[in-house]
Amino acid sequence: MSNQFQSRRLTLKILPVVTLGALGFCASTMAATSGPLVGAGGFPVLKEIVVTGIKQRSADDEKLNDEVKTAMKADRYFYDYHVAVDTKNGVVTLRGLVFDDWDVRAAIRISKRIPGVKRVVNQLEIGAQP
């Protein structure tokens, strides 16, 4: 993946709803109105919400992620099956389930040994052995 930003644009239309009496008859006035809409109490009604998300994941982060996963698999005393690794801007986040505190320390130690890792965030949980 390149260093370019990927952007997604999501537009949600919110239509004002007018309820007439106990019948519950609803009518949308969005399409017929060209000017600003005014809701109950004279407050303006929101016509559109635009959500823009930017996904940043550089090639360096992908490489670091793969190196950390490979190093965990290579350690013969560390069971990495339930550990997820996520890397963003050189910060490695470890999530998942491990057997004991020793495994938590081992996962952090393995991750810190990889060149390029700036910081390790521990979100591992200690669970019972199967």
Same domain as 103, residue 80: yes
Same domain as 64, residue 39: no
Structural domains of the chain, count: 2
Place of tokens 């399409």: 31
Q: What is the CA radius of gyration of the chain?
A: 25
Q: What is the mean pLDDT of residues 19-47?
A: 52
Asked if residue 88 has pLDDT above 70, the reply is: yes
Q: What is the mean pLDDT of residues 73-94?
A: 94
**pLDDT score of 127:** 87
Contact 98, 124 (CB under 8 A): yes
What mean pLDDT value characterizes the chain?
75
Same domain as 44, residue 100: no
* Residue 61 banded pLDDT, cuts 50, 70, 90: very high
Same domain as 122, residue 102: yes
* pTM listed for this prediction: 0.56
Supply the range of the domain harboring residue 37: 6-55
Burial 4-38 (b: 16+ CB within 10 A, else e): eeeeeeeeeeeebeeeeeeeeeeeeeeeeeeeeee
Asked if residue 48 has pLDDT above 80, the reply is: no
Backbone angles phi, psi at 122, to 5 degrees: -95, 115
Q: What is the mean pLDDT of residues 68-84?
A: 94
**pLDDT score of 19:** 42
